[in-house]
Structure 1
Amino acid sequence: MTVASLAYQRILVPLDGSETAEFAIPYAADLARKHNAELVLLHLEYLPALTVEQSPDGPTHEQAQTHLTELRNQLHAEGIRASEHVIESRDLSETLFKFVEAERISVIVMSVQGRVGMLRWLFGNQIEKALGNLSVPLMLVRPVYHKIVVPLDGSRWSETAIPQAVDIARAHNAELVLLHIYQSPVSGYTAQIALAGQQDIAEQTYEQIHDHLIGLRNTLRSQGLRVREQMIRSNNPAQAICEFVESEEGVSMVVMTTHGRTGLSRWLFGSVAQKVVKNLRCPVTLVRPNE
């Protein structure tokens, strides 16, 4: 008996604007490489029956289109053929079925999680019936987090990201890495000023921060979590975070606050968080603390 090998030509990844839905993309990308197939990114947005306004839970049409274009460009940079589509619909499952047929999709690769759970989001309470109507294979991907990095700068603002990271780590039995990026206060000083005692003060500050970091680590360990701490000296926090995440094996997510030592304007709009989101391939969860 001869078993014919599968030949996927167009691989569909349905998305809802959430990071967990995008966990399916790397799996689909690997499949696309093996089959020299095209990856089709489809953002489906539910359009309420009585209004033309966008669903409040997800991105706007323009935001979704911009984000999908960025994802497509990233895939192109990796040598993968990709296209993107944003469709608003009052019947998501019917729209998906029609899209699969019209676009000659070979297989669907989809995360089981999303804003409300991808299967239920698409098919409502008729999941079994809907799956029976699919004309192509469906590959379901469950997000798994192995290691979660929490960048810190020594401020109470940055530490407000820790509870969010702890919740994710507990749910996935993941390791937490408390990453402190230490910016020396004497980095721009002359050697003479440094010799006048500033260097000693900087080292004392470093040790105090390190002790505090160990205290955080021990507190979390006492709660049954796997945690370790890491301190890096750098005057370019965004670059240091990205380089650490890229070099550290098994990082699944970065959880960081939009506030830091210098406030919202620096972390979110000025530099660090924006650059981290732009340059990292893994999901980044931004937490805005209550002031």
Structure 2
Amino acid sequence: MFQHVVVPVDDSEAAWRAVPIAARMAAAVDGALDVVTVVDRVEAIENERSSMRTELERLAPLPVDVHVDVLVHDSIASAIAGHVESRNGAIVVMSSHGHGRSASVLGSTTDDVLRELYGPVVVIGPHASDDSGALGGHYVVPLDGSDLAESILPIVSAWAVEFGGTPWLVEVIEPAAQTPSDMQDSAYVGRRAREMQRQSGHEVQYEAVHHKHPAETITDFADKQQASFVFATTHGRTGMARLRSGSVAADIVRRAGCPVVLHRPPHLVE
């Protein structure tokens, strides 16, 4: 799994909301925590480092020691990816929204980081509670029958085995969809849950819900389950294709009261 947690930040309050959650994750695995920012000039390093230490003092105490790093690069996502790759067993935890002078770090650059890294990114949306992110608990996993959505299941299974969490596989079915009379609505997710439980040896729950708004349904279900995380796959596309195919994952991040573990399968790099 991971032994190193990396949090990219800028000078916005939204960016720093990810740090306490990441610190608890790092402490839970007896791991290390890096808080990093990216600048385009060497001359800016010391000023940024001082500002970061001030923010960390505001958040103190944290359950782990924090290493502060200022990276110099003209590509924010590439700098973050390079830092992560230099740390064995590292995972990125980042806010989805930033409003400071480097706001792109925490908005559209989330997509860029997903494309740069082989591995999931934990995204802290605007409604994620400050005490969320316990590694155990319930993991809500939206599925739609596609190979793309199911590509996150090995990650979910690995977290469940490592941290003792309970996955909930959830399918959102259009209200007008017709299920054959000899099948239950939950037949698909039930089958996948049984396969996953047999392979992992850990309990897996499932549910099928009729609703026309997938993201709203998933986040409401996660709230009711007091979920620790939602796990979702994103297409990692660009332009209008990203707006169409990635909108459900993005909407889940915007609505979720817990962190969202986003995964972009490597074969979808454009």
Per the normalisation by structure 2, the TM-score is 0.53
Q: Which residue of 1 aligns with 2:95?
A: none
1:255 aligned partner: 231
- Look up the match of 2:254: 278
1:110 partnered with 2:30: no
1:154 aligns to what SS in structure 2? coil
Q: Which sections of structure 1, spanning at least 5 residues, go unmatched?
A: 1-13, 29-42, 54-87, 113-117, 123-140, 187-201
CA change 1:145–1:177 in 2 (3 A) is same
User: Is structure 2 residue 157 aligned with structure 1 residue 166?
Assistant: yes
What's the counterpart of residue 115 of structure 1?
A: none
Provide the residue aligned with 1:89 in structure 2.
45
What do the CA deviations read for 1:234-276 (whole angstroms, capped 9, x no partner)?
Answer: 1111111121111223x111111114xxx854341xx321211
How many pairs are equivalent?
A: 180
Contact map agreement 2:143 2:189 (CA 8 A) in 1: no
Match of 1:52 among 25, 36, 41: 41
Instruction: State TM-score, norm by structure 1.
Output: 0.50
Distance change (3 Å), C-alpha of 1:228 and 1:107: closer
Query: Closer, same or farther in 2 for the Cα pair 1:214/1:109, shift >3 Å?
Result: same
Identify unmatched segments of 5+ residues in structure 2.
1-5, 10-14, 25-34, 70-131, 236-240
Could you report, residue by residue, the CA deviation over 1:164-186 in whole angstroms, capped at 9, with x for unpaired residues?
Answer: 22222222111111011111455
- Measure the CA separation in 2 of the matches of 1:20 and 1:107: 9
Partner Cα separation in structure 2 for residue 162 and residue 155 of structure 1 = 12
| Structure 2 equivalent of residue 152 of structure 1 | 143
Residues 148/52 of structure 1: CA separation in 2 closer, same or farther (3 Å cut): same
Q: Which has the larger radius of gyration?
A: 1
In structure 2, C-alpha distance between the alignment counterparts of 1:285 and 1:91, rounded to whole Å:
32
Deviation at 1:284, TM superposition (A): 0.8
- In the alignment, the residues of structure 2 paired with residue 285 and residue 21 of structure 1 have an alpha-carbon distance, to the nearest angstrom, of 16
Which residue of structure 2 aligns with residue 241 of structure 1?
218
Equivalent residues in 2 for 1:1-291 (5 A)?
Answer: 16-17=8-9, 22=18, 24=20, 44-45=36-37, 52=41, 89=45, 96-97=52-53, 99=54, 105=57, 108-110=60-62, 112=64, 119-120=66-67, 143-186=134-177, 202-204=178-180, 207=183, 210-222=186-198, 223-249=200-226, 251-259=227-235, 265-268=243-246, 271-289=247-265, 290-291=267-268
Distance between the aligned counterparts of 1:155 and 1:95, measured in 2?
45
Higher RCO (C-alpha under 8 Å, 6+ residues apart): 2
